[in-house]
């Protein structure tokens, strides 16, 4: 899961899902360890 979420995506403006989540919520999902999609 970490490998997928740390890969930049074209649809996100070449940002990673982690970066977009942090920008929108202010929470670092990688440190939570409980984020599952």
Domain regions of the chain by residue span: 3-32
Please check whether residue 22 is in contact with residue 29, taking contact to mean a CB–CB distance below 8 angstroms. yes
Sequence-distant (6+) residues with CB within 8 A of 17 are: 4, 5, 9
Name which of 19, 37, 36 is nearest 28 in CA terms: 19
- The two structure tokens encoding residue 2: 């970490």
pLDDT in tens, the chain (37 residues): 778 888 999 999 999 998 998 999 988 877 776 655 5
Helix (H) or strand (E) segment spanning residue 12: none
pTM to 2 decimals? Answer: 0.68
């Amino acid at each position: 899961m970490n490998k997928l979420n740390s890969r930049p995506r074209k649809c996100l403006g070449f940002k990673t899902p982690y970066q977009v989540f942090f920008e929108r919520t202010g929470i670092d999902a990688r440190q939570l360890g409980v984020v599952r999609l």
